[in-house]
Amino acid sequence: MPPAWQGHLAMLSFSMLVSLSFTFGHIVARDMAPAALSTVRFALAAALLMAVAKAMRVPLAPVFHRFWRFGLMGGLMAVYFITMFEALRVTSAVSTAAVFTLTPLMAAGFGYVIARQYASRWTLIALTIGALGAIWVIFRADLNALLRFEIGFGEALFTLGAFAHAMVPALARKLAHDVKPVQTSFGTILGALIVTAIYGAPDLIATDYAALRPAVWLVIIYLAVAATAGSFFLLQYAAQRLPAGKVMAYTYLVPSWVVLWDLLLHGKTQPLMLLLGVFATLLALLMLLKAEAS
């Protein structure tokens, strides 16, 4: 399989894993402080990746050479995850996932500024269509709310997280080209763990872990194994094979996955007008795949 298609397959898996983190995260967002939850998940994910690296006989010493780069990427991911769970406390999983789909256009901009990756006109058109679809969902398919720029607190907060997340693919390509994906993933998660542990220290101390519902622990395990360790590895793997904008383009699938999970798990349907925004994000992904094929 050509390297580019390996990257596409990795990002398809990434989009599915990430979408479930929105769905599951919405269920338990009020049970535990976001900073404490993120710290626990990063600690479990770091331990898991350390074991994986040992099993694969991949040394982790290179991670601590110029560790500042992983601290930077990890700090950005910490901002993303903390703002995500803060947003899920006050808004829907679909709206939060829609904000996440703003990252491809942001990533294309950072790809140019940081790694000098140029996007074609077709790619920029596709990214713009996807961003417009995301904005339509963010404003709940309400044209008047869009014109008045009435954005919810959760969506506005998570936009900052999406902005931080969008920097990571270009930074990984620029700063971590000399290390393996599992090393990059471990270093980034370790950096995120340090940042969230410092920021969330009061919440970590105040949390009554014995009183948490079993569902919370199941979600934390999923977030640590699949949505953190797994998605970090897939993202770093794809970032070495695809331009930053196309790596993040697969985030356009996330709202569609979330709509599907809401239907299958909760029997919840979405208004047709809102689904138009979801369809626009799917169109953007198809346009990007066509550009890759040509």
For residue range 41-72, list pLDDT tens digits in order.
999 999 998 998 898 899 999 899 889 999 99
* The pLDDT of residue 146: 72
Q: For residue range 206-239, what is the model confidence (pLDDT) as tens digits?
A: 999 999 999 999 999 998 888 877 887 887 788 8
Phi-psi region of 212 (alpha: psi -120 to 50; beta: other; left: phi over 0): beta
Among all chains, which residue has been given the structure tokens 């500024």? 113
- Dmax (CA) for the chain in angstroms is 57
Of 35, 37, 147, 27, the residue nearest 96 (C-alpha): 27
CA angle 126, 127, 128 (to 5 degrees): 90
What sign results for the dihedral spanned by CA atoms 78, 80, 86, 88? Answer: negative
Q: What is the DSSP string of 29-58?
A: TTTS-HHHHHHHHHHHHHHHHHHHHHHTT-
The amino acid at residue 54 is K
Rounded distance between C-alpha atoms, residue 144 and residue 273, angstroms: 14
Share of the chain above pLDDT 70, in %: 96
Token digits for 21?
Answer: 């983190």
* The pLDDT of residue 277: 83
Q: For residue range 109-129, what is the model confidence (pLDDT) as tens digits?
A: 888 777 677 777 888 888 888
Would you say the pTM of this structure is higher than 0.85?
no
Share of the chain above pLDDT 90, in %: 29
Would the pLDDT of 100 be above 80? Answer: yes
